[in-house]
Amino acid sequence: MRIVDTHCHAGLHKYEPVETLLYHMDQCGVAQAVLIQHMGHYDNRYHQDCLQRFPGRLASAMLVEPEDDGTRIRQWALGGQAGIRLRPTSRVRAADPLVQWRTAAELDLVVSVHGKPDGLLSSEFAEILSTFPQLCLVLEHLGGIGTQAQPPYDDFRRVLALATHPNVYMKVPGLGEYCPPPPPYPQPVPLARMAVDAFGPQRLMWGSDFPPVSSREGYANALHGSMDHLSDLGPDALAWIFGGTARHVWGL
């Protein structure tokens, strides 16, 4: 199995340099990763430098200024960015409020969607889903459900209903992101299993959330805990969730 980590942060002024991420990946047998730009940081030069220094190992999702009319998106995409990070309610104060989404669709970029259930279930995101049915949308952090979810998980079930849109995918994190602390988690809450039932393995992808994961169960446990939790799905399903889907979506 060629494992891909689809949700990592790296930087020189916040979080850790990419070499720290690559160390953890190497220790755990993770072959490739997707760098997700951290919120509020619109200078993607470090990510582009990482792509050049470690060819074939990384993909990257940019951030751009909230008022960008698509110009910066096009410039960063020319430098190798494969995706962009947007909130589900993102709009630009311009003649075309959807210009950033529209530019992503024109350039065939992956959109890593950062938001909680209220945003994903909003009328603004419904407009995105209806306007751009071919745009690849990847919902971060199990749809942002977090550790506060309680049975019967009504909000999460409503988010999972977005699986009816074939262009929508979801990231499955480590157990520490959605199971109440402290680890270990002998009886994980069933959110990842519910995601499998809704999306199927070929539209799910694992993401560690490095380095914030280090304050939860740690990188290795985020990988192996999720694998163990889903192990009964069988090797083919695991191969999709922990690598195959990511390679297909991100072109790795």
| Separation CA 202–CA 222 (nearest Å) | 20
Residues of the chain with pLDDT under 70: none
Domain coverage including residue 123? 3-250
Transcribe the chain into DSSP letters.
--EEEEEE---SSSS--HHHHHHHHHHHTEEEEEEEPPTT----HHHHHHHHHSTTTEEEEE---TT--SHHHHHHHHTT--EEEE-TT---SSSSTTHHHHHHHHTT-EEEE---HHHHTSHHHHHHHHH-TTS-EEESHHHH--TT--TT-HHHHHHHGGGGSTTEEEEE--GGGTSPSSSP-SS--THHHHHHHHH-GGGEEE---BTGGGGTT-HHHHHHHHHHHTGGG-HHHHHIIIIIHHHHHHT-
Q: What pTM was computed for the model?
A: 0.97
| Separation CA 231–CA 24 (nearest Å) | 22
Token pair 């990257």: residue: 60
pLDDT for res 134: 97
pLDDT for res 148: 87
**CATH number for position 227:** 3.20.20.140
| Separation CA 140–CA 114 (nearest Å) | 6
* Count of domains observed in the chain: 1
For 39-96, how does the pLDDT look when each residue is reduced to its tens digit (9 = 90+)?
A: 999 999 999 999 999 999 999 999 999 999 999 999 999 999 999 999 999 999 999 9
pLDDT for res 40: 92
Quote the mean pLDDT of the chain: 97
